[in-house]
Amino acid sequence: MGYIKIRFSENFNQIGSKFGKTIQDLFRLINPTFVLSERNWEPQMDIYETPHEIIVLVEIAGIDEENLELEINSKAMKIYGRRNEIPRAENSTYRLAEIRYGSFERILFFPSPIDMDNVNASYLDGLLQVRLSKLRAGNSYKIPISSG
């Protein structure tokens, strides 16, 4: 059984330039075999919450666990890694190229703060599931107000 690397961090680096991705997507429309040396993509995600936790599902089929990392702080999660391209058959020509290969990165901001001591991640059938317990709301105190 492999382990998913989870790092806890105070801040995240900015996501790379969207301009390079837009140019790449434009050329991929013209010719699906157009390849830049480094192609970035973003996996699809679902996020939902219960009264006590936030659950994140990430669709990352074909990613080996050793090429997958999570970085988490109390407000956000960054998932990144790499999907290696499967060698195509000799003497073949692409007619359609929609599967994204190369590096990927996605940052998700949580709707409420999480308890970083209670984070679980599992990867099965191409879906990464991350379960994050919410921080409990602090106790409220009634403060007497004095006159004058």
Q: Which tokens belong to 100? A: 């994204």
By DSSP bridging, strand 68-72 and strand 5-8 are: parallel
> Per-residue pLDDT tens for 51-83?
999 999 999 999 988 899 999 988 899 999 999
Sign of CA dihedral 46, 42, 130, 52: negative
Distance CA 41, CA 101 (A): 8
Question: Which fold does the domain 5-85+98-134 belong to in CATH?
Answer: Immunoglobulin-like (2.60.40)
pTM attached to this predicted model: 0.68
With 0-12 / 13-18 / 19 or more C-beta atoms within 10 angstroms meaning exposed / middle / buried, residue 117 is: exposed
pLDDT at 36 over 50: no
Domain spans in the chain, listed from the N-terminal domain onward = 5-85+98-134
- Give 1's Cβ-side CA count (13 Å radius): 4
